[in-house]
Amino acid sequence: MHEFSIIENILTIVEEISEKEGLTSVSKVTLLIGKMRQIVPDTMSFAFEAAAKGTIADSAVLEMEFVPIKIHCNECGNEFIVKNHTYVCEQCGSTDLSVLEGQELIIKNIEGER
């Protein structure tokens, strides 16, 4: 359950940004999460709700946007979205691949009041 440590770090960043921006409360935090992070949405939501108690984000909503895993084949140059955890080029069958997208864990947006 790495979601709890991730949320703790996110809330630390939310607190820092809120202080810098002069926010008195946070109403929504939106995360951009790559599928390779293997985040369980329900666990992430539970962790956020529990960890946010008593913080500036106490009553905030957590939104999660998931980014598919996008791969570049180093053999033929094909770019594709991974389906069914199959890390083989659909075009040439190579396993010499580079990840282009899908590893993200970004705070996309923080909404609040001043």
pLDDT at 72: 98
Please report which confidence band the pLDDT of residue 2 belongs to, taking 50, 70 and 90 as the band edges.
Answer: confident
Tell me, what's the pLDDT at 1? 56
Model confidence pLDDT, tens digit, residues 52-98: 999 999 999 999 999 999 999 999 999 999 999 999 999 999 999 99
**pLDDT at residue number 37:** 92
Q: Is 73 exposed, middle or buried (0-12, 13-18, 19+ CB in 10 A)?
A: buried
114 vs 30, higher pLDDT? 30
Class of domain 3-68+102-113: alpha beta
Q: Tell me how crowded residue 60 is: count the other CB atoms within 10 A of its CB.
A: 21
pLDDT digits (tens, 9 = 90+) for 4-16: 999 999 999 999 9
CA angle at 37 for the pair 1 and 31, rounded to the nearest 5°:
95
| pTM for this predicted structure | 0.86
Q: Give Rg (Cα) of the chain.
A: 18
Q: Flag whether pLDDT at 103 surpasses 80.
A: yes
